[in-house]
Amino acid sequence: MSVLSAELDAKVAHVRQQLRQAFTDASELDDVCLTCSFQAEDVLLLKLALELRPQIPTLFLDTGYHFAETYAYRDRIAREWNVRLINLLPLTTVAEQEAQHGLLYQTSPDRCCAARKVEPLFRAVANYKVWITGLRREQAKTRAGLEEAAPFTLPGGKQVLKLSPLAHFTTADVWHACEELGIPLLPLYALGYSSIGCEPCTSLPLDPGDARSGRWAGRKVECGIHIEAAK
């Protein structure tokens, strides 16, 4: 076994241990949820979580603006892995929002993300005690200080425990672990995308050294779901 494989195996074992502990501490099935964008790190984490809790509620932010490839891949993984998938819908459909406000993702992406991502996600997460995410420190400067476990205050004041068991994973770790575990990846990666969100706000990376540089064409770096409400 190579040094890299031994190191990676230890990292994966650490993730399994964190998940096992979370599921032991929160023994009720519906106490813990996992959010999944169906990007590589989230699918890796989903795979590891399903080993321990096959019925874990798996939340997907169905903004209505995803790539057709993302929807097809989501459905494939959900079917093949028997995922308990919960699609989170905004209060308005894409057609209603566009009739009322036009193309908000062009004129005001913050308002669009607030309506199609932040509100539905926080509304759903409020139903759980623990929220597991695939966030990693390496993904962006805004995530460099990410903790593996931290309380998170939702709008309205409810606090949940937010776990990010992959916080210390590099992009290479994610890819190698997916390969080792035989996890098929979202086909858009093969076209050169390195971070994949809604189609109108995702391009090929503008800076090869910054995986998220293809998101929102550099106009912003976070959609807001990982930004805590003021306490």
Residues 74-113 that bind ligand SF4 (CB under 6 A): 105, 109, 112-113
**Residue with smaller CB distance to ligand SF4, 65 or 152:** 65
User: In sequence order, which residues have a C-beta less than 8 Å from that of residue 23 and are 6 or more positions away?
Assistant: 32, 52, 53
- Is residue 118 a contact residue for ligand SF4 (CB under 6 A)? no
Torsion of CA 23, 224, 79, 195, to 10 degrees: -110
CA-wise closest residue to 145 among 168, 127, 124: 168
For CA atoms 71, 165, 12, 144, give the dihedral sign.
positive
205 binds ligand SF4 (CB under 6 A): no
**3 state SS of 77:** helix
Q: Token pair of 34, please?
A: 């996992």
Q: Cα dihedral sign for 115, 139, 192, 216?
A: positive
CA distance 110 to 119: 12
**Only segment of 13-21, 22-30, 175-183, 194-202 that touches ligand SF4 (CB under 6 A):** 194-202
Contact with ligand SF4 (CB under 6 A) among 124, 201, 212, 226: 201
- Identified binder of ligand SF4 from the candidate list 86, 158, 200, 221, rule CB under 6 A: 200
CB of 153 to ligand SF4, least distance (A): 22
- Comparing CB distances to ligand SF4, the nearer of 31 and 64 is 64
- Is 198 among the catalytic positions? no
When binding is defined by CB under 6 A, the residue of 40, 124, 198, 225 that contacts ligand SF4 is 198
Nearer to ligand SF4, 12 or 223 (CB): 223
Residue, CB closest to ligand SF4? 198
Size of the site for ligand SF4 (CB under 6 A): 13
Phi-psi region of 150 (alpha: psi -120 to 50; beta: other; left: phi over 0): beta
Cβ closer to ligand SF4: 58 or 63? 63
Enumerate binding residues for ligand SF4 (CB under 6 A): 63, 65, 105, 109, 112-113, 116-117, 197-198, 200-201, 223
- Report, as residue numbers or ranges, the catalytic residues: 223
